Amino acid sequence: MYKILAREDLAPITKLMVVEAPEVARKAQPGQFVIVRIDEEGERIPLTVADFDRGAGTITIVFQEVGKSTMHLGTLQPGDGLASFTGPLGEPSEIEHHGTVLCVGGGTGIACVYPITRSLHEAGNHVISIIGARRKDLLFWEEMMRSVSDELIVCTDDGSYGRKALVTVPMKEILEQRDDVSRIWAIGPAIMMKFCCLTAQPFDVPIIVSLNSIMVDGTGMCGACRVEVGGRTRFVCVDGPEFDGREVDWNQLLARQRIYLGEEKLAREKFEHECCSKHESSGSAV
Amino acid sequence: MPETTKTKPKRPKPGAIPRQEMPRQAPEVRRANFNEVALGLTMEMAQREAQRCLQCKKPLCIAGCPVEVRIPEFILALSEGNMPEAVRLLKDKNNLPAICGRVCPQETQCEELCVLGKKFKPVAIGRLERFVADWELGQGVETPEPLPPTGKRVAVIGAGPAGLTCAADLARCGHQVTLFESLHAPGGVLMYGIPEFRLPKRTVHAEVDYVKSLGVDLQLNAVVGKLYTLNELLGERGYDALFLGTGAGLPRFMRIPGENYNGVYSANEFLTRVNLMKAYLFPEYDTPVKVGKRVAVIGGGNVAMDSARCALRLGWQRALAKGSEPAEVTIVYRRSRVELPARLEEVENAEEEGVEFRLLTNPVEIYGNEQGWVRGMRCIRMELGEPDDSGRRRPIPIEGSEFDIEVDVVVVAIGTSPNPLVFTDAGGLERTRWGTVVADEETGRTTKQGVWAGGDIVTGAATVISAMGAGKRAAADIHRYLVGEEICE
Ligand SMILES: Cc1cc2nc3c(=O)[nH]c(=O)nc-3n(C[C@H](O)[C@H](O)[C@H](O)COP(=O)(O)OP(=O)(O)OC[C@H]3O[C@@H](n4cnc5c(N)ncnc54)[C@H](O)[C@@H]3O)c2cc1C
Ligand SMILES: Cc1cc2nc3c(=O)[nH]c(=O)nc-3n(C[C@H](O)[C@H](O)[C@H](O)COP(=O)(O)OP(=O)(O)OC[C@H]3O[C@@H](n4cnc5c(N)ncnc54)[C@H](O)[C@@H]3O)c2cc1C
Ligand code: SF4
Ligand code: SF4
Ligand code: FES
């Protein structure tokens, strides 16, 4: 059992959890992920290492409740345990002194880009960050991102906070204004990453994305996570999750994310039904 | 051989008793459930079968068994009704008998060499082994006393048959053993690959519990190469020796166009979803799997048979629940029936259950629809030419014989190789160009000081019992290396 030590609700459906996993924390690096299994019946879901504390022996995860497993995870409280917590998996980000770098995080992707941004900043890069969400109440970690960036731009799709824009708009402006950006990290929903890559295309800057394909083991033994990058089939869990986004077959990734839409709906409905009836009978108001 | 063989009871004439067949679920029933196909012998049948053994003075059967099970001795104890003694004799060499009794290819190992097989059918050694092991599991398993602690620490990596065997033998000798496993459950292929209907998972759990009861410290969710590296285990973590039993878990694809369409699975993924993650119990279990109307399984080995039979069962479950048509499941194999590498018994089981076979056929391209889903497969007919290195006749495509078949799920079961993850920071460990580890066949020693290896990681995909044999030989050599003595019996 891997104990949940703390939790925080960052946004209506975005939760943070601090999990006791000293061995994982000892090895984790920015860009890596863990595979979480809640209980005996649970599936194995990949979640990015949003932070790690080697001294305290903890890993922080941030997740959005999008289906059965993440909704179930969201009902857990400090003191509860997770059946498995496997990691750190995937290759770490290439943290070096690149010069000026651009870090873009969208939605839950803000949590994924944060440890990378922090390390890039510590490595002496001039870091310009852009974070975005659909609405104000979905934004989080603005101050944390500010503390590890030289410049920070905040935007929302509906203009309820910061600039009213998609993250690609300030991204394009920055790339037009300055020619010293030597690398971009863009992490968020697949569709956002795809458009960030299209935006960066004319400027010929490497753009690193973190792919969120469906996974099972996370160690290279199943091939569920495969996607074509630069015309070659790559396994996201071991060859990635970071790739040069200019080479990713986005349509294939997007199609492969939809394999289980029907099953996901069924599982979610069953969970909502059971979860609600349980809460009604126990009279709890969650 | 010990005394027991001398005091032979009066036995029936060779061949007087027919080989006892094991009751099985009827094909029409079993194709729609995941319960075990073979139901096991009764005590009466087992003892009758045991009587068939000639108690040879020089038992040839033992030479066919990679772990040299004391076959005539345990069979004699069984025929005399001394079950605890039968268990003791069986487990003296085999730590996982309930598993081997079920999945060993006996027909090409111990039973192939049984003298009775020259004129009659061989003694059903595997079935008897299964019977004795199941009897013990029913009684509650006894743990042998380990020897006094040696103070030596060994890390065993991978909890498949090779690792479990090696760990158990070393623990019995008094070494402190940590067994690292990357998945959330021990067993290796026994858990994620071989389906419930051939090897019930409670049997695997029971045999793993036995290994744990010997004092082996099992660390799950521990991906070596990521969480720890080999050099760390040998260095700062202070292990005196390492055994690598991480198998051959990397799936091979065909490298034909269209292989990444939705609905194309590696057999590893398909079987892991179904077996380890229990997708056949979805949505009670969270992990889903897709079974379309027409499933093509590419390959002809045990893995292909298991994939096809899982798909068939999922299709029938759905048909019974929803009143729809069952799925059509077809094995697509490039040679002919005699070359099928799967066990004959499993081929026959699959046929009885309704799996179709398209032999002398090879896929060349997979087609998809606009949503990225598989809709068809282009195949080419094959003919057999001269024998190749493997001794089987080489399949040659017949030019211009391409044809299309409709499919919506494809399972690729054309082989696996060792997963390289474990080799991070493992300098000095030599590997072949197939990615397998170079190790001495007799001792399991690798080219890296303090590191042994055995099982599929050395041989490439092979068998449960050969992996166990390798684990055993390595344990003996590790013991020799650590304390300078031959392994305790
Ligand atoms: C390397 C990696 C890192 C990730 N990091 C984060 C993170 O830090 N925070 C976060 O909120 N999400 C992250 N994800 C996505 C997260 O794994 C999925 O949201 C989660 O698995 C959904 O499970 P569910 O049952 O709640 O939803 P479902 O109902 O199963 O699915 C909802 C959507 O999630 C996607 N999904 C489903 N199953 C998986 C799976 N096994 N693996 C990946 N995606 C899946 C599907 O495309 C689907 O459209 C990451 C994914 C990957 C591959
Ligand atoms: C579907 C299928 C059916 C089969 N049917 C039969 C049969 O009927 N009869 C038969 O005799 N043989 C059969 N085989 C073959 C047999 O299962 C294998 O030969 C045998 O399991 C090999 O044992 P192993 O211990 O070498 O490896 P495995 O069983 O593969 O076990 C290796 C273990 O190591 C773990 N591991 C891998 N990498 C790491 C890492 N980096 N860190 C930690 N742990 C790691 C894996 O998760 C796994 O648990 C079948 C195989 C398959 C796939
Ligand atoms: S372990 Fe396998 S090969 Fe050895 S005797 Fe038993 S069934 Fe035969
Ligand atoms: S060879 Fe056959 S008959 Fe002889 S001891 Fe072995 S099992 Fe019995
Ligand atoms: S998740 Fe199985 S290979 Fe990547």
Confidence of residue A274 (pLDDT cuts 50, 70, 90): confident
CATH number at residue A195: 3.40.50.80
Confidence of residue A276 (pLDDT cuts 50, 70, 90): low
Query: Does residue B314 surpass a pLDDT of 60?
Result: yes
φ/ψ of residue A76, rounded to 5? -80, 155
How is residue A175 written in tokens? 């790339």
Query: Does residue B403 surpass a pLDDT of 60?
Result: yes
Amino acid at B368: G
Q: Are residues A65 and A104 in the same domain?
A: no
| Length in residues, chain A | 286
Which domain, by its residues, includes A9? 2-89
Is position A265 within any domain?
Answer: no
Q: Do A251 and B372 touch (CB under 8 A)?
A: yes
The pLDDT value given to residue B10: 67
Query: Ligand 2 site: residues with CB under 6 angstroms?
Result: B 103-105, 157-163, 180-183, 188-189, 193-194, 222-225, 245-247, 249, 271, 302-303, 306, 419, 421-422, 455-457, 461-465, 467
CA of B272 to the centre of ligand 2 (A): 12
Is position A134 within any domain?
Answer: yes
Nearest CA-CA distance, residue A221 and chain B, Å: 5
Residue with tokens 């056929």: B361
Contact, B246 vs B228, CB < 8 A? no
How is residue A143 written in tokens? 């101050």
Query: Does residue A32 surpass a pLDDT of 80?
Result: yes
How far apart are alpha carbons B212 and B205 in whole angstroms?
10
Distances, alpha carbon B64 to alpha carbons B106, B140, B372, in Å: 9, 30, 49
The pLDDT value given to residue A286: 35
Q: Are residues A70 and A199 in the same domain?
A: no
Residue nearest to atom 8 of ligand 4 (CA): B53
Is position A283 within any domain?
Answer: no
> Angle between the B83-91 and B125-139 helix axes, to the nearest 10 degrees?
110
How far apart are alpha carbons B89 and B68 in whole angstroms?
11
- For residue B165, give the ligand nearest its CA: 2
Of B174, B178, B239, residue with least CA distance to B212: B178
Amino acid at B70: R
H or E segment and range at residue B411 = strand B409-412
Q: Are residues A36 and A108 in the same domain?
A: no
CATH number at residue A27: 2.40.30.10
* Mean of per-residue pLDDT scores for chain A: 93
B17, burial (CB in 10 Å: exposed 0-12, middle 13-18, buried 19+): middle
CA of B462 to the centre of ligand 2 (A): 9
Of A24, A216, A267, the CB nearest to B273: A216
Q: Are residues A40 and A157 in the same domain?
A: no
Contact, A175 vs A203, CB < 8 A? yes
Is position A21 within any domain?
Answer: yes
Estimate to the nearest angstrom the gap between the alpha carbon of A97 and the chain centroid: 23
Q: Do A221 and B249 touch (CB under 8 A)?
A: yes
CA of B104 to the centre of ligand 3 (A): 6
Confidence of residue B406 (pLDDT cuts 50, 70, 90): very high
Q: Is A212 in the pocket of ligand 1 (CB under 6 A)?
A: yes
Of B277, B278, B419, the CB nearest to A221: B419
Residue nearest to atom 24 of ligand 1 (CA): A67
Query: Ligand 3 site: residues with CB under 6 angstroms?
Result: B 65, 67, 69, 71, 94, 100-101, 104, 106, 109-110, 125-126, 129, 465
Q: Are residues A7 and A56 in the same domain?
A: yes
Q: Is A215 in the pocket of ligand 5 (CB under 6 A)?
A: yes
- Total-model pTM: 0.94
Sequential DSSP letters for B362-396? EEEEEEE-TTSBEEEEEEEEEEEEEE-TTSSEEEE
Sequential DSSP letters for B68-122? ---HHHHHHHHHTT-HHHHHHHHHTT-S-HHHHHHHS-GGGTHHHH-THHHHSPP
Is position A183 within any domain?
Answer: yes
Residue in B with minimal Cα distance to A266: B283
Amino acid at B32: A
pLDDT tens-digit map of A111-126:
999 999 999 999 999 9
Q: Where are the alpha helices (DSSP H) in A84-138?
A: 109-122
Q: Are residues A130 and A36 in the same domain?
A: no
Q: Do B272 and A216 touch (CB under 8 A)?
A: yes
How far apart are alpha carbons B422 and B164 in whole angstroms?
18
The pLDDT value given to residue A282: 41
Distances, alpha carbon A22 to alpha carbons A18, A57, A116, B136, in Å: 12, 4, 20, 39
φ/ψ of residue A236, rounded to 5? -60, -40
Estimate to the nearest angstrom the gap between the alpha carbon of B130 and the chain centroid: 15
The pLDDT value given to residue A283: 37
Atom of ligand 3 nearest to the CA of B94: 1
Q: Are residues A78 and A195 in the same domain?
A: no
pLDDT tens-digit map of B77-89:
999 999 999 999 9
Percent of chain B with pLDDT over 90: 85
Q: How many helices (H) and strands (E) does chain A have?
A: 9, 17
Query: Does residue B389 surpass a pLDDT of 90?
Result: no
Query: Does residue A157 surpass a pLDDT of 90?
Result: yes
Q: Is A70 in the pocket of ligand 1 (CB under 6 A)?
A: yes
Number of domains in chain A: 2
Choose the weakest-confidence range: A196-200, B109-113, B273-277, B483-487. B483-487
Region of residue A46 (left: phi > 0; alpha: psi -120 to 50; beta: else) = beta
Contact, B451 vs B429, CB < 8 A? yes
Q: Are residues A231 and A112 in the same domain?
A: yes
Is position A140 within any domain?
Answer: yes
Q: Which of A89, A116, A140 is the last residue of a domain?
A: A89
Instruction: Give the torsion through C-alpha atoms of B183, B185, B190, B195, to 10 deg.
Output: -100
Q: Are residues A224 and A115 in the same domain?
A: yes
H or E segment and range at residue A266 = helix A261-282
Return the bridge partners of B436, or none. none
Residue A241, preceding peptide bond in cis (omega within 30° of 0) = yes
Q: Cα B245–B249–B255 angle (5° rounding)?
A: 150
Query: Does residue A280 surpass a pLDDT of 90?
Result: no
φ/ψ of residue B350, rounded to 5? -60, -45
Q: Do B262 and A255 touch (CB under 8 A)?
A: yes
Q: Are residues A196 and A247 in the same domain?
A: yes
Confidence of residue B302 (pLDDT cuts 50, 70, 90): very high
pLDDT tens-digit map of B154-192:
999 999 999 999 999 999 999 999 999 999 999 999 999
Nearest CA-CA distance, residue B288 and chain A, Å: 7
B470, burial (CB in 10 Å: exposed 0-12, middle 13-18, buried 19+): buried
What average pLDDT does range B386-407 have in this prediction?
90
* Mean of per-residue pLDDT scores for chain B: 93
φ/ψ of residue A226, rounded to 5? -70, 150
Strands A207-210 and A242-244, sheet pairing: antiparallel
Confidence of residue A278 (pLDDT cuts 50, 70, 90): low
Is position A14 within any domain?
Answer: yes
Q: Which of A65, A89, A113 is the last residue of a domain?
A: A89
φ/ψ of residue B109, rounded to 5? -120, -115
How far apart are alpha carbons A40 and A160 in whole angstroms?
42
Of B372, B420, B421, the CB nearest to A252: B372
How far apart are alpha carbons B242 and B233 in whole angstroms?
8
CA of B342 to the centre of ligand 5 (A): 26
What average pLDDT does range A134-147 have in this prediction?
94
What average pLDDT does range A173-192 have in this prediction?
94
Strand, coil or helix: what is A140? coil
H or E segment and range at residue A270 = helix A261-282
How far apart are alpha carbons A218 and A46 in whole angstroms?
8
CA of A20 to the centre of ligand 2 (A): 30
Q: Cα B134–B138–B144 angle (5° rounding)?
A: 85
How far apart are alpha carbons B68 and B165 in whole angstroms?
14
Query: Does residue B4 surpass a pLDDT of 60?
Result: no
Q: Do A264 and B288 touch (CB under 8 A)?
A: yes
Q: Which of A42, A64, A89 is the last residue of a domain?
A: A89
What average pLDDT does range A229-256 have in this prediction?
96
How far apart are alpha carbons B169 and B355 in whole angstroms?
41
What average pLDDT does range B411-425 have in this prediction?
94
Question: Any residues with CB less than 8 A from the CB of B293 and at least 6 apart, and which?
Answer: B325, B327, B328, B408
Query: Does residue B3 surpass a pLDDT of 50?
Result: no
The pLDDT value given to residue B6: 45
Q: Are residues A81 and A154 in the same domain?
A: no
Q: Is the ipTM beyond the 0.90 threshold?
A: yes
Contact, B161 vs B471, CB < 8 A? yes
Q: Do A255 and B372 touch (CB under 8 A)?
A: yes
Q: Is A235 in the pocket of ligand 5 (CB under 6 A)?
A: yes
How far apart are alpha carbons A123 and B37 in whole angstroms?
60
Q: Are residues A137 and A237 in the same domain?
A: yes
- For residue B412, what is the DSSP state? E
How far apart are alpha carbons A50 and A69 in whole angstroms?
18
Q: Which residues of B touch A266 (CB under 8 A)?
A: 283
Is position A264 within any domain?
Answer: no
Atom of ligand 3 nearest to the CA of B104: 2
